[in-house]
Structure 1
Amino acid sequence: MSTTTNHHLVVTQAGVFSPPIQFTAPPGIKLTQEHFKDITPDQLHERIHKASIIVSCWTRLDSVALSEAVTPNLKFIAVTAVGTDSVDLATCQRRGILVSNCPAANVESVSNHAMALYFAARRNVVQMDRVVKDGVWHKEGPSVALRMKDSNQGLGLTSEEETVGIIGFGSVGKKVAQLSKGLGMKVLIAGRKGQNETTKKGDIERTPFEDVLKRSTVLIIAVPRVPETMNLISTAEFQAMSADTVLINISRGGIVDEAALLQALKEKSIFGAATDVFETEPASAATSPLLAEDTRNLNLTTSPHLAWYANKTMKNYLTISPSNVHNFLLGKPTNLV
């Protein structure tokens, strides 16, 4: 059991949870709680000052927020999400603050969203919707189909013609592979960038990263955001892709170079792209070149980092995060990162 018998828990984004998230303490532990619907950056330091436990989804907890001056009593952070890039883990390690997450909680919803984005990009759904609503179809008639061709005057592939390259073969990557095979796609699993040989472990064969870029007609990015994956896909990688390629990013912003992606779309060196994430979030035309006015006619589908948003994910969060807190209070922390 935790050596401290009194804990104060602060939930920074209680408004996300439906039904409300609930935490209980084991016998012998006094747990006081504050649940804030949301916390703005200017409120953060004051509201977490007394916390020994912080429960957060995406609140940015940087080195200042995690300093002894701001959070002198902090012992544990329960990230109610899969990714933990919102937390300065180096500062946590230095101070001995434990951090947990909710692994695999969103696998179903994120993998489903990846496939939805694939179809949107491959079928050019956003542009099709736009030409209908803007009156272009009414004006041009059937010849509006010519707007949907790729740079080689191709009409787009069907799923059984696709080769999907999966970059990042964790829980989401594995589920995406399963769904892709169900659609008749050939699946390639990418090795680490810079490794030039095909490797096999058990029944999992990893194809060299550069070969996956060249051979795939669909690329799905599902890696965590760490220093090694920043700008993993940039100008050189886009140049290696075929004109048939659609790029799907359901990982984190910053892994795909947004300026390089925009250039590839404008030059039609790839067929299209779809992203659920941006380098700076919430994103706008002021923070991302992908949202500038001149991108409206590109085959680019976006969503506001809500690939995780589903009933099953919420149920998992409402189970896993309280369990992580309870186990920390018992002195047996779970799902530590």
Structure 2
Amino acid sequence: MAPPPSPTEHHLVALQGDFINTPEFELPPPHTCKRTIYGQTALSDLHARIHDATIVVIGALRLDAETLSPEVTPYLRLIMVVAAGTDCIDLEACRKRGIAVSNCPAVNTEAVSEHALGLYFAARRRVLRLHTLIRAGEWPRRRTLMFDCRAHDGTPPMTCQEEVAGIIGNGAVGKRIASLARGLGMKVIVAERKQPEDPSALGHPNGNQERLPFETVIKQSTVLFLAVPLAPTTRNLLSTAEFEAMSPHAVLVNVSRGGVVDEEALVKALQENQITGAATDVFLKEPAGPENSPLLAEGTEDLNLVLSPHLAWYTQRTLINSERMFKQTVEKWCVGERMNAVV
């Protein structure tokens, strides 16, 4: 085994360079930072690639307890997540070894929020179905496709002024979605946690908006936006009971994490017309395909279900924001300064 690096010698290994631009770092002497960049990394290559790293950079690659053991990563001292979520990392293993974890919160707020509104319009107005029908020549054959954009109960789409937008997740993205929704004329209601740690805090003000009990928001919303991190308390946050309680006119939009929504329960809710439609940018298993996702299984083709491949974050602004925060964080950590975002 090679001798451990000195406190001023850093070896950064970026494992997903195809998606993350690794900048040049400006460090004062005697600090140095060697960079090793891989475009993409298969799990079979993971341990060998990060064995000598003091800094590991990822976007959404799984780093479990075995990967974070002293045998696999003996020199690791910092994990830089160039994304908002950290659910892919065993944080307890990092705590035990004193490995710092930093992420990039709020760098994609505008991108994800705008994508959420786009998904909403696509599902509410059945844009993909109409697109498919018109490309197939159905408009001249049928004379009108008006009936194909109706909800399952025969009602035409709502306008924004008729919508009650429920927001589950009161972080930067949730707040931005709420602001955009209000700007479009929607009534916005913001949910408390499903199981608040302090029941006496229910109904406390949230800026100009009072937060309502989770169950109330589920029942009253005609469009429900999910923008929460994946944690034990949010796994399967929406499942059979929640779909049964929702309005039959409701559209669900998930831009949080796969695993927050019970995918099998969602398919069943759409098949049984418990809700009008759904749209998601995230999946329990990614990359998602017919072989690993109920949302893409046989028989789901005709559901009012709009899908995008976890790219709500992907805009020019997000990449600029991410690279800037990535650079600042690593430079501060290398010289022993306090980082802006520590998980």
- Normalising TM by the smaller chain, what interval? over 0.9
- State the 1:80 CA deviation: 0.5
Deviates more, 1:148-157 or 1:268-277: 148-157
Tell me whether 1:336 sits opposite 2:339 in the alignment.
Answer: no
TM-score, normalised by the number of residues in structure 1:
0.95
Aligned amino acid, residue 194 of structure 2: K
1:253-332 equivalences in 2 (<5 Å): 253-332=258-337
Q: 2: CA distance between counterparts of 1:25 and 1:55? A: 18
Which residue in the other structure is 2:124 paired with?
Answer: 122
Which residue in the other structure is 2:11 paired with?
Answer: 8
Tell me whether 1:228 sits opposite 2:233 in the alignment.
Answer: yes
Question: Do the aligned partners of residues 292 and 139 (structure 1) sit closer, same or farther apart at CA in structure 2, a change above 3 Å counting?
Answer: farther
Q: 1: CA distance between counterparts of 2:24 and 2:180? A: 34
Q: 1: CA distance between counterparts of 2:204 and 2:57? A: 40
Tell me whether 1:37 sits opposite 2:4 in the alignment.
Answer: no
Deviates more, 1:106-115 or 1:26-35: 26-35
Which residue in the other structure is 1:135 paired with?
Answer: 137
1:163-178 equivalences in 2 (<5 Å): 163-178=164-179
Unaligned runs of 5+ in 2: none
Which residue in the other structure is 2:158 paired with?
Answer: 157
Aligned amino acid, residue 190 of structure 1: A
Deviates more, 1:67-76 or 1:36-45: 36-45
- State the 1:14 CA deviation: 1.4
Q: 1: CA distance between counterparts of 2:138 and 2:303? A: 15
Alignment RMSD, CA only?
1.6
Tell me whether 1:97 sits opposite 2:128 in the alignment.
Answer: no
Which residue in the other structure is 1:189 paired with?
Answer: 190
Q: 2: CA distance between counterparts of 1:27 and 1:204? A: 51
Which residue in the other structure is 2:210 paired with?
Answer: 205
1:41-60 equivalences in 2 (<5 Å): 41-60=43-62
Which residue in the other structure is 1:65 paired with?
Answer: 67
**Could you give the per-residue CA deviations for residues 67-101 of structure 1, whole angstroms, max 9, x where no partner exists?**
11110000001111111111111111111100000
Conserved? CA contact 2:78–2:100, under 8 Å: yes
Q: Between the two structures, name the one with larger relative contact order (CA 8 Å, sep ≥ 6).
A: 1
Aligned amino acid, residue 272 of structure 2: E
TM-score, normalised by the number of residues in structure 2:
0.94
Conserved? CA contact 1:26–1:326, under 8 Å: no
**Could you give the per-residue CA deviations for residues 149-170 of structure 1, whole angstroms, max 9, x where no partner exists?**
2232111201111110000010
Conserved? CA contact 1:110–1:307, under 8 Å: yes
Equivalent pairs, count = 334
Q: 2: CA distance between counterparts of 1:301 and 1:199? A: 34
Unaligned runs of 5+ in 1: none
% identical equivalent positions:
47
Aligned amino acid, residue 299 of structure 1: N
- State the 1:202 CA deviation: 5.1
